[in-house]
């Protein structure tokens, strides 16, 4: 792919010789949060590569270019140049896209890049931030939503857990039993503790520890912040079963090393990408199973499973905890949100009450509950 153009920036307040070096300095601001760093690098890289293909640099980006770039995110073309399966970054067939970005992903990309340009303006690398000229900037760049809808409703989750819990056949191999136990552990872990996928991949056995008769999970999340989360009995039971499969003692020892989620050798930990693909593959397999089992009657649920990503499990966990009556302050602690209004998106009780009251509003002539026609 063409390299992004290099410009001369006499007023720059950073030591950089090219757009790529300037962006690299911006990215160092997020070195304490590896997950954020990866996400921001991906979006910045896509913009730099696109600009290189246009033979222009960051300082030449104008307001009208943003619409063209957003359309490009929705349909990266030519496809062979931009889209491809996961590959190591040094591979010659690595591509920056797995496919077109959804509206939510495009919105998130623009949010990230707006922040990048604000920093570059302060650094004196570019003279203006074209995102500030977007007339409908608040609508397009505000990534907050009034509620969370990317989750599995309880009946669908209950079906999925029953499907995940169906044991292998009696003549199943040791490998098949291992994969079954690991899959249940992954989905149970995700549902019971609401971790981010990077936090699951990084979890060590010693991160689970008892204190005054209760078990806790120590987790380091976004921004390098460490927290402890209560471990419910079901999670402890899953962990014990999984450790038995690994040939370990029933409960973790203080400071015990070794990843919780492991590869087929039972030793090496799973990486973020491996875990992501495993969960996505499981959702697709579950969708196929539900479609075979229920056919057209379950079409909407099958579609939900096919659309689901690993982060849906976190949304599902927090939504179901909220529906079960977990107080907002404790829910925020589990989610590790800095703001309560972020956690409040998982509270659907107001929607339910609104819908109940709205149902009393109907068209003339509708029979009331007694069966009589209204006057």
**Out of 49-58, 190-199, 257-266, 326-335, least confident range:** 326-335
Q: For the segment 308-367, what is each residue's pLDDT rounded down to a tens digit? A: 999 899 889 988 888 888 787 788 877 776 655 555 665 555 555 555 665 665 667 655
Q: Give the residue numbers spanning the domain of 115.
A: 19-141
Q: How far is 59 from 140, CA to CA, in rounded Å?
A: 22
Cα separation of the two ends of the chain: 73
Task: Let me know whether 162 and 232 are in one domain.
Answer: yes
Write down the pLDDT at residue 375.
Answer: 40
Task: Let me know whether 103 and 189 are in one domain.
Answer: no
Arithmetic mean of pLDDT over the chain:
85
Write down the pLDDT at residue 210.
Answer: 94
Q: For the segment 283-305, what is each residue's pLDDT rounded down to a tens digit? A: 999 999 999 998 888 899 999 99
Long-range contacts of range 319-322, CB-CB < 8 Å, 24 or more positions apart?
319/148, 319/151, 319/346, 319/348, 320/154, 320/157, 320/191, 321/194, 321/346, 322/346, 322/347, 322/348, 322/349
Burial class (CB in 10 A: 0-12, 13-18, 19+), 48: buried
Q: Is residue 6 part of a domain?
A: no
Q: How far is 79 from 76, CA to CA, in rounded Å?
A: 6
Task: Let me know whether 182 and 212 are in one domain.
Answer: yes
Higher pLDDT, 203 or 103: 203
Q: Is residue 267 part of a domain?
A: yes
Q: What is the CATH number of the domain that holds 219?
A: 1.10.443.10
Tell me how far CA of residue 162 lies from CA of 165, 184, 187, 236, 365, in angstroms.
5, 10, 12, 19, 45
Task: Let me know whether 216 and 244 are in one domain.
Answer: yes
Mean pLDDT value across residues 171-198: 94
Q: pLDDT class for 25, splitting at 50, 70, 90?
A: very high
Task: Let me know whether 35 and 133 are in one domain.
Answer: yes
**Out of 56-65, 66-75, 361-370, least confident range:** 361-370
Task: Let me know whether 219 and 122 are in one domain.
Answer: no
Task: Let me know whether 131 and 197 are in one domain.
Answer: no
Q: What is the pTM of this model?
A: 0.63
Q: pLDDT class for 249, splitting at 50, 70, 90?
A: very high
**Looking at the 3D structure of the chain, how many domains does it have?**
2
Q: Which two tokens stand for residue 48?
A: 């730099």
Task: Let me know whether 161 and 302 are in one domain.
Answer: yes
């Amino acid at each position: 792919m063409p390299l992004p153009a290099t410009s001369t920036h006499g007023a720059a307040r950073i030591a950089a010789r090219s757009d790529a070096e300037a962006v690299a300095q911006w990215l160092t601001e997020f070195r304490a949060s590896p997950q954020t760093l990866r996400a921001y690098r991906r979006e910045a890289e896509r913009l730099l590569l696109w600009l290189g293909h246009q033979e222009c640099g960051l300082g030449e980006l104008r307001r009208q270019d943003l619409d063209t770039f957003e359309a490009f995110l929705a349909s990266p073309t030519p496809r062979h140049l931009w889209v491809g399966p996961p590959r190591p970054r040094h591979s010659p067939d690595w591509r920056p896209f797995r496919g077109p970005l959804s509206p939510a992903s495009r919105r998130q990309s623009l949010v990230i890049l707006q922040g990048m340009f604000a920093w570059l303006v302060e650094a004196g690398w570019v003279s203006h931030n074209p995102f500030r000229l977007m007339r409908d900037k608040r609508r397009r760049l505000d990534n907050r939503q009034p509620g969370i809808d990317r989750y599995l409703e309880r009946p669908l989750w209950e079906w999925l857990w029953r499907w995940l819990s169906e044991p292998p056949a009696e003549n199943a191999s040791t490998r098949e039993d291992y994969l079954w136990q690991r899959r249940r552990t992954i989905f149970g872990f995700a549902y019971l503790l609401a971790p981010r996928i990077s936090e699951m991949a990084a979890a060590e056995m010693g991160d689970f520890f008892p204190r005054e008769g209760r078990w806790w999970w120590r987790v380091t999340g976004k921004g390098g912040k460490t927290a402890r989360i209560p471990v419910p009995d079901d999670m402890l039971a899953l962990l014990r079963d999984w450790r038995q499969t690994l040939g370990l003692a029933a409960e973790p020892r203080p400071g015990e090393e070794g990843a919780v989620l492991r590869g087929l050798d039972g030793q090496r930990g799973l990486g973020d990408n491996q875990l992501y693909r495993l969960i996505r593959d499981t959702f697709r397999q579950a969708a196929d199973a539900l479609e075979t089992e229920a056919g057209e009657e379950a079409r909407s649920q099958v579609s939900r499973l096919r659309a689901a990503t690993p982060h849906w499990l976190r949304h599902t966990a927090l939504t179901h905890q909220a529906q079960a009556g977990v107080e907002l302050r404790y829910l925020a602690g589990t989610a590790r949100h800095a703001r309560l209004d972020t956690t409040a998106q998982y509270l659907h009780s107001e929607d339910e009450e609104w819908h109940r009251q709205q149902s009393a509003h109907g068209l003339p002539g509708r029979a009331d509950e007694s069966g009589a026609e209204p006057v």
